[in-house]
Amino acid sequence: MAVMTYRDALNEALREEMERDPDVFLMGEEVAEYDGAYKVSKGLLDDFGEQRVVDSPISELGFTGLGVGAAMAGLRPVIEFMTFNFAFLAIDQVINSAAKMHYMSDGQFRMPIVFRGPTGAALQLSAQHSQACETYYSHAPGCKVVTPGTPADAKGLLKAAIRDDDPVAFMEGELLYNFKGEVPEDDDFVIPLGVADLKREGGDVSIITHGKMINLALQAAQKLEKDGIEADVLDLRTIRPLDMDAILETVQKTNRAVYLEEGWPYAGTGAQIVSMIQEEAFDHLDAPLLRVTQADIPMPYAKNLEALAKPSVQHVVEAVNKVLYR
């Protein structure tokens, strides 16, 4: 195992897939000359040239549409958004073109394209740049949604996303780029899409989550352990397709569950998953399912208010104690 940052794991995945397949190319704002806004594409321009690492104009709708056309023509574009908050400007191309093309063309066109970039809140970026965008994209049939929370998952899932013949919204945690972890030293390390990962085992309660919230969930589990509570911590890794079998397995084992997500509560990812658990595992539940989310408000700019609006370890601990009737 090698220890590397989340950023370097993504860089390694891009490099390996570009070496493996000459049809893979990267395009986005500042991905070439500047090495990427978050340095994920560092060194790729020097190694692969300006035909395969392409700086785009500041026009998300335009360069996303170009990527969709390239995918229809048989290439494998990786479109980088400086942040998925900016991708709202291109959502017409992602949803109305990429996600629907295979169906609307009666299978005549595949759509091997990856849309990647950071999602969620960082530090004091205020309301318009702090949104967790997973739900917007998972709502649309035809678009896969991937949310890696560790360096190993970032590498393995990005490689799988690039090889996939369907459009993939690959959402990275903005605060994770410097996060370090072990990554297998294997240039063919690929994690299949739609397979969850049990990051921690316990028998008292299930904490189910995705994206950078996996790290918050593990911190909460460590704190709960001091009070004699052992938590299963399930990292979904992929929101669509969803590993429902893994979700049901952990719920049937512990009989209590908390869903943790960075997004808003109303019509959120957790609302969908909680509904599915109640439909398929109601008789296994010994307590109502609870959700821990961001506050249902635009993200404040003030540092103290921002901290109050975000999910926290204490919020998770309190939710777990409630489902355990403690």
Does residue 15 sit within a domain?
yes
Q: Answer whether residue 130 shows pLDDT above 90.
A: yes
SS3 call for 173: strand
Statement to judge: residues 175 and 201 lie in one domain: no
Q: What mean pLDDT comes out for the span 132-158?
A: 96
Q: Is the pLDDT of residue 267 over 90?
A: yes
CATH of the domain at 84: 3.40.50.970
Q: Quick check: is 60 catalytic?
A: yes
Looking at the structure of the chain, the number of domains it has is 2
> pLDDT digit string (tens) for 32-42?
999 999 999 99
Cis upstream peptide for 241 (omega within 30°): yes
The C-alpha atoms of residue 256 and residue 285 are separated, in whole angstroms, by: 6
- Is 103 inside a domain boundary? yes
For residue range 67-124, what is the model confidence (pLDDT) as tens digits?
A: 999 999 999 999 999 999 999 999 999 999 999 999 999 999 999 999 999 999 999 9
Average pLDDT over the chain reads 97
The answer to whether 135 touches 267, Cβ cutoff 8 Å, is yes
Region 200-218: what's the mean pLDDT? 97
**Residue 282 maps to which CATH number?**
3.40.50.920
- Residue 191 placed within a domain: no
306/226 same-domain check? yes
Q: What is the pLDDT of residues 247-259, one digit of tens each?
A: 999 999 999 999 9
> Which run of H or E residues covers position 206?
strand 205-209
Q: Is 92 helix (H, G, I), strand (E, B) or coil?
A: helix
| 65 in a structural domain | yes
279 occurs within a structural domain: yes
Residues 176 and 86 in one domain: yes
Do 224 and 246 fall within a single domain?
yes
Residue type, 301: Y
Q: What is the pLDDT of residue 311?
A: 97
* H or E element at residue 319: helix 313-323
Nearest of 55, 90, 124, 49 to residue 300 by alpha carbon: 124
- Last residue of one domain, picked from the residues 150, 183, 216: 183
Judged against a pLDDT cut of 90, whether residue 309 lies above it is answered with yes
Q: What percent of the chain has pLDDT over 70?
A: 100
DSSP label at residue 34: T
Same domain, 111 and 63: yes
Question: Could you tell me the two tokens for 227?
Answer: 């009070």
Phi, psi for residue 262 in degrees, rounded to 5: -85, -20
Q: Quick check: 187 pLDDT over 90? A: no
The reply to whether 127 and 8 lie within a common domain is yes
Residue 128: pLDDT band with limits 50, 70, 90: very high
Q: Per DSSP, what are the bridge partners of residue 180?
A: 5
In DSSP notation, 204-233 reads SEEEEE-TTHHHHHHHHHHHHHTTT--EEE
Q: Which of 128, 160, 183 is the last residue of a domain?
A: 183
- 188 within domain boundaries: no
The answer to whether residues 39 and 168 belong to one domain is yes
Q: Which of 16, 17, 60, 306 is catalytic?
A: 60
Residue 201 has pLDDT above 90, yes or no: yes
Both 30 and 140 in one domain: the answer is: yes
Please check whether residues 204 and 130 belong to one and the same domain: no
Annotated catalytic residue: which of 129, 139, 284, 315? 129
Pick from 142, 158, 183: which residue ends a domain?
A: 183
Confidence at residue 85, expressed as pLDDT on a 0 to 100 scale: 95
| Residue 313: per-residue pLDDT | 98
Is residue 245 domain-resident?
A: yes
Q: What is the mean pLDDT of residues 165-192?
A: 95
State which residues form the domain around 296: 197-323
Residue with tokens 């049990």: 198
Interstrand relation of 76-80 and 24-28 (parallel, antiparallel or unpaired) = parallel
Residue 192 lies in a domain: no
Domain co-membership, 37 together with 98: yes
Statement to judge: residues 32 and 97 lie in one domain: yes
Question: Does residue 142 sit in the same domain as residue 262?
Answer: no
| Beta bridge partners of residue 291, listed in sequence order | 259
